[in-house]
A = this chain, B = another copy of it.
Amino acid sequence: MTAEIITIGDEILIGQIVDSNSAWMAEKLNLAGIKVHQISSVSDDEIHIINALNEAATRADLVLMTGGLGPTKDDITKKTLCKYFDTKLVLHNDILEDINALFKRRGFPILKENSRQAELPENCTIIRNYHGTASGMWFKKDNTIFVSMPGVPQEMKKLMEDGIIPKIKESFELPVIVHRTILTFGFIESELSNLIEDWELGLPKGMKLAYLPSLERLRLRLSISGDNREDLENLIDKEEKKLKEYLGDAIFGYGEQSLQEMVGKILEKENKTLATAESCTGGNIARLITGIPGSSEYFKGAVVAYENSIKEHVLNVSESDLIKFGAVSKKVVEQMALGVKKLMKTDYSIATSGIAGPGGGTEDKPVGTIWIAIAGPDKLISKKYTLGNQREFNIRRTSSVALNKLRKMLIE
């Protein structure tokens, strides 16, 4: 089965935004066993949209569209869809109620433009959007299914996950594909590839391995397709077991899990608490941890100690050590970890201090010099890292390394 993706919007064609929706949708479709043949970005223009739909329909069983569905005047997608599918806009009262309820909840006045979003094509199946005002629309023409979604990524993702993917699975007979994504941290791609070379060469016929690296983790994805899900699962189980012998605790989870989620699970299970003291990461570790629902069960808080006086007066770092060794030092980062642990009365703590860049480096401590400390109930470890000169990379990478160090201490 073949799909195509069409993203609608002049903002893509003038390069004002990067189309990240397509990659997300393509991944989800692939995981469901659907091959994406082409992705096309077209303008907010009736003739252009219709041409793109016609072309895609000759090649694909399923055409997914995003974008061009806002409440304002630059929206011509709905009218074009009515023309293409030979129908007209009608007011859907149930959708109007959804929209009004959403506005009421958010405390916004209900405007004419928004009620217009309850006007939808008569002959489509509406996929309800509970997180925004633009509905999903599901059409059938000849032998092709067409689905239109808003371009706002959060709304599109919710619609896909809750409404569209399940409906696709009902509507098409898809092959059985089993994927397993194994999450690792601590090796870069080439190191890992060397380490597991023998295992990789011995994978059974038809089983594919993909490396998916990012700053937060290195994902390994195994995929195999066939007829029987249980057989495929067993084959993958066997290979995963072998892989564990190579990688040990470098494997931290599966699927879409994150380091912060895994750390949270362990803390919650063991009934332990955590705090962070952050300098170069500027609150990013706290932000990652508190992004997880329920994190208030184990996360007590953080001190972002950007200025040295905060390290001294709030975290109780020794003034003389700050002067003697500098803020980016073993002595200081260890006192930060101990200081926040005592201040917030937690079992564990993370501390970071470094030069995120691009400025602020010295000959002795160039940009990218980072110290991380982890304190536990009866343990204190610290280590220096040398990263690059890109601020965003340094903040994110330091946060991931620190979370992984805490994870390792927790499972010891």
- Interface residue? A381 (CB, 8 A): no
In this complex, what residue of B is CB-closest to A313?
B343
Q: How far is the CB of A390 from chain B (nearest CB, A)?
A: 6
> Within 8 Å CB of A63, what residues of B?
none
**Cα distance A102–B389 when bound, in Å?**
11
**Cα distance A202–B313 when bound, in Å?**
58
Pair A71/B189 contact, Cβ less than 8 Å: yes
- Interface residue? A306 (CB, 8 A): yes
Pair A283/B287 contact, Cβ less than 8 Å: yes
Q: How far is the CB of A156 from chain B (nearest CB, A)?
A: 13
- Interface residue? A286 (CB, 8 A): yes
Please report which residues of chain A, range 253-312, place their CB below 8 angstroms from some CB of chain B when the two chains form the complex.
Answer: 276, 278, 281-287, 289-291, 293-296, 299-307, 309-310
**Cα distance A36–B13 when bound, in Å?**
6
Q: How far is the CB of A39 from chain B (nearest CB, A)?
A: 4
Q: How far is the CB of A274 from chain B (nearest CB, A)?
A: 10
- Interface residue? A205 (CB, 8 A): no
Pair B38/A48 contact, Cβ less than 8 Å: yes
**Cα distance A297–B36 when bound, in Å?**
49
Pair A190/B113 contact, Cβ less than 8 Å: yes
Pair B22/A26 contact, Cβ less than 8 Å: no
Pair B15/A30 contact, Cβ less than 8 Å: yes
**Cα distance A177–B314 when bound, in Å?**
53
Pair A191/B108 contact, Cβ less than 8 Å: yes
- Indicate whether A291 sits within 8 Å of B395 (C-beta atoms), given known contacts A38-B13, A296-B307: yes
Q: How far is the CB of A328 from chain B (nearest CB, A)?
A: 12
Which of the 9-residue segments A80-88, A141-149, A207-215, A244-252 touches chain B? A207-215
**Cα distance A393–B130 when bound, in Å?**
13
Pair B303/A290 contact, Cβ less than 8 Å: no
- Residue pairs across A and B with Cβ atoms less than 8 A apart, 9 shown, are A18-B22, A37-B48, A70-B189, A107-B386, A283-B283, A286-B287, A290-B395, A301-B306, A309-B345
Which of A39, A73, A301, A386 has the most chain B CB atoms closer than 10 A to its own CB? A301
Pair B291/A282 contact, Cβ less than 8 Å: yes
A52-80 interface bits toward B, Cβ cutoff 8 Å, 1 = contact, 0 = none: 10010000000000000011111000000
- Interface residue? A136 (CB, 8 A): no
In this complex, what residue of B is CB-closest to A74?
B210
Residue in B42, B111, B212, B302 whose CB lies within 8 Å of A283: B302
- Indicate whether A306 sits within 8 Å of B314 (C-beta atoms), given known contacts A113-B194, A287-B287: no
Q: How far is the CB of A222 from chain B (nearest CB, A)?
A: 12
> Within 8 Å CB of A30, what residues of B?
14-15
Which of A105, A290, A291, A293 has the most chain B CB atoms closer than 10 A to its own CB? A290
Pair A310/B306 contact, Cβ less than 8 Å: no
Pair A212/B105 contact, Cβ less than 8 Å: no
Please report which residues of chain A, range 1-55, place their CB below 8 angstroms from some CB of chain B when the two chains form the complex.
Answer: 10-20, 22-30, 35-43, 48, 52, 55
In this complex, what residue of B is CB-closest to A223?
B14
- Interface residue? A392 (CB, 8 A): yes
- Interface residue? A391 (CB, 8 A): yes
Which of A14, A19, A356 has the most chain B CB atoms closer than 10 A to its own CB? A14
Q: How far is the CB of A399 from chain B (nearest CB, A)?
A: 9
Pair A131/B343 contact, Cβ less than 8 Å: no
> Within 8 Å CB of A24, what residues of B?
15
**Cα distance A120–B200 when bound, in Å?**
25
Q: How far is the CB of A175 from chain B (nearest CB, A)?
A: 14
- Interface residue? A359 (CB, 8 A): yes
